[in-house]
Amino acid sequence: MNESQTSPVNDVPTAPTALSMREVLRITTMRRLWYAQIVSNFGDFLALFAVIGVLAFKLHATAQQVTGVQIAYQVPLAVLGILAGVFVDRWPLKRTLVSSDLIRGLLCLLLIVSTQIWHFYLILAAISIVSSFFGPAQGVVIREAVPLHGLRSSNALMQQVMFIMRIVGPAAAGMLVASFGARACYWLDAASFIASACFIGSIAIKRSAAVHHHTVAEDKGAVAKVWHDMQQGLSFIFHHAALLFVILALAAGMFIMGCFGPLIAVYVRDSLHAGNTIYGWASAMIGVGILCGINLLNTFGTKIKNTVLVYSGLSGIAVGLVLLTAVTHIWSTLIGNFLIGFCVAGIIIPAQTLMQQETPPHLMGRVGSTMMSVIFSAQILGLLLSGALAQVTSVRHVFALCAGMLALLILAGKLFMEPKAA
């Protein structure tokens, strides 16, 4: 058969191969953002655990006052999240990131002269207010710098840093406080923010031209413009079924994690009749599970759809909760906590990736900050409700209720939030 008579090849475009973490780190902007994340997160955990240590052992704070530290830090992120995204979509990204780091570095220095519990509350709340602008701006930069097929790896890298520091931070803070006092941690935290600002200041950051466009709201007052921009971001989320579902799934996962903090210790005491050693191992298994999940899913789950990963993650968390409810042995607790941590990773990375892939550039700040607000609101709700629910019923029943909530969310996703076929 002549070459001219051969059947033409059907040139169907294929999706590019997902970038690995190593390939993503070859992108200069992403690599330096990653360095900045490492140093600033390490400093944050040093300072946070030093503050908790001072409150518990020097100021003799109550359990509620120590828990208040977490709430003081999380509430501004939850409340200001949606509003912060409006400004992030308008402000220069590089200036926003660098100034946020420098301001937070100065605020950390105030911890050195703090002597009262309310001093720590105010300073941590102020740091949180500034962080509510930094987080969405960082998300926009990652979306602009990394190609779509590298977003999952870039999100995995950033989350990996946070959870590694959550494991390393307490031990490092304990050694530093014992050797040099809490002030050493505060100085290091301030220095970490300056180092982060230097890393970010060394890269060129550009925003898509599509971000800036005139609307009717531009001709109105400042409050009207802000309100209009907030409505745009919320409207996009509520009219995007898949994105709405993953945000709700992420909120459910963070709610469970918020419940776990105060309740797992009670579970170990009352259901396992064990002590601090088992509590430490049980808590650590959640972090180990998250780290394993981030790395394994990023390596072997690149061809799995984000929505499938989210469904699997929700189902796995529910299975882990059922295991904790039905079986009260040390081995089952360790396995259940590991499974819950592993499956939380199956929600975090796909949710962030889907948000970055599906959101138009001019809405990235608003959508990203709304997701951040939902995450911290869910954590606060879990933190507040866990104790109240445990007083009304048992810890095991609370875990069972959470598993039922996840099952309902999975059903709602399948019925109402599945992307419609074209």
pLDDT attached to residue 210: 52
Dihedral sign, CA of 261, 266, 268, 269? positive
Separation between Cα atoms, residue 64 and residue 187, nearest integer Å: 27
Q: pLDDT value at position 209?
A: 63
Contact of 389 with 402, CB cutoff 8 Å: no
Yes or no: say if 94 and 193 are a contact pair by the CB < 8 Å rule.
no
pLDDT tens sequence across 317-335: 999 999 999 998 999 999 9
Do 18-205 and 218-422 come out as alike in CATH topology?
yes
Q: What is the pLDDT of residues 247-279, one digit of tens each?
A: 888 888 888 777 766 677 778 888 888 876 787
92 contacts 137 by C-beta, under 8 angstroms? no
For 387-414, give one letter per residue: b (16+ CB within 10 A) or e: bebbeeebbbebbbebbebbeebbeebe
pLDDT value at position 222? 60
Task: Summarize pLDDT for 353-370 with one digit per residue, the tens.
Answer: 888 888 887 778 888 888
- C-alpha atoms less than 13 angstroms from C-alpha of 47 in its C-beta half-sphere: 30
- Quote the Cα angle for 183-185-187, to 5°: 70
Q: Where in the chain are the domains?
A: 18-205, 218-422
Total residues found in the chain within this entry: 422
Q: Which region holds residue 181: left if phi is over 0, alpha if psi is between -120 and 50, else beta? A: left
Q: What is the pLDDT of residue 124?
A: 92
Q: Rounded distance, CA 47 to CA 93, Å?
A: 26
**CATH 2.120.10.30 matches 18-205:** no
Per-residue model confidence (pLDDT) at position 417: 59
Tokens of 244: 């709405």
Q: Which residues of the chain have pLDDT under 50?
A: 1-12, 211-214, 217, 421-422
Instruction: Give the Cα separation of 99 and 3 in Å (integer).
Output: 64
Architecture in CATH of 218-422: Up-down Bundle (1.20)
pLDDT at 3: 46
73 burial class (0-12, 13-18, 19+ CB within 10 angstroms)?
A: buried
What does pLDDT average to over the chain?
81
Task: Identify the pLDDT of residue 97.
Answer: 94
Instruction: Give the C-alpha separation, 294 to 163, whole Å.
Output: 10
For residue 52, give both structure tokens.
Answer: 């908790």
